[in-house]
Amino acid sequence: MSLAPITIEPMQPRYNRPVSQLLAQAFQAKFHRRLHLSGNVLAKGLETLLDYAPAGPFAPRSVALQQGEVIGSIGMKYKSAADQLVRGKRLPPLPAVFPLLRRRGMVRLLAGLATLEHYPEAGECYITDLAVHPAHHSKGVGRQLLGWAGEVVAADPGLDRLSLHVAASNPRARQLYERLFFQTSARQNRQLLYLVLGERAWEYMVLIQKGGQIEQ
């Protein structure tokens, strides 16, 4: 019996809950030693963040769907995304996220994400996160989402590369990126990230793509 096809669609508000659950599973798998949060609490906090800062034209998010179920998600941002966030053009009032600060684990996560924040340069499309449902690991979902990101770069004459950070303790993810021709551009040791999330060593990986062609 053939499997149902997987489709990639732009993020919509109705996907906030399942995407937040995917991200919660991914964050717990990576940072459980520091967060000490239940999956439900973490997912609810992430859903609040998705409601607070929805996907936009310079910070797009897409989801992988199979039979209407969200099985994967990828977030990206271009250079001007950070500027738009600072100006606050598309964000609801800040007090909406204040309840998250009542839990130490959420404060740790927010501090870690802020420390790992990357501001893209001109031409750079930065992958902020990539998450796949555990039941769909090793089925090509992550590769398909990364392929979609590559299509975004190819379609925009102002973009010429994809980039991301991967924890050095996650060789499986790094090997996937290397198979797709990402190359490590820098290795970083971040003491603050170790204190809040338990991960000190990170690799910044880049894939150069010009005119729809990957440069190796």
Q: 128-138: per-residue pLDDT in tens?
A: 999 999 999 98
Q: What are 84-120's pLDDT values in tens digits?
A: 444 444 444 555 566 776 778 888 888 888 888 888 9
Q: What is the largest CA-CA distance in the chain?
A: 51
Which pLDDT score is estimated for 36? 82
Contact assessment for residue 165 and residue 204, using Cβ atoms and an 8 Å cutoff: yes
Question: Is pLDDT above 50 for 22?
Answer: yes
Least confident range from 12-21, 32-41, 85-94, 194-203: namely: 85-94
CA 46 from centre of chain: 12
What sign does the CA torsion over 124, 120, 95, 88 have? negative
- Token look-up 């303790």 returns 169
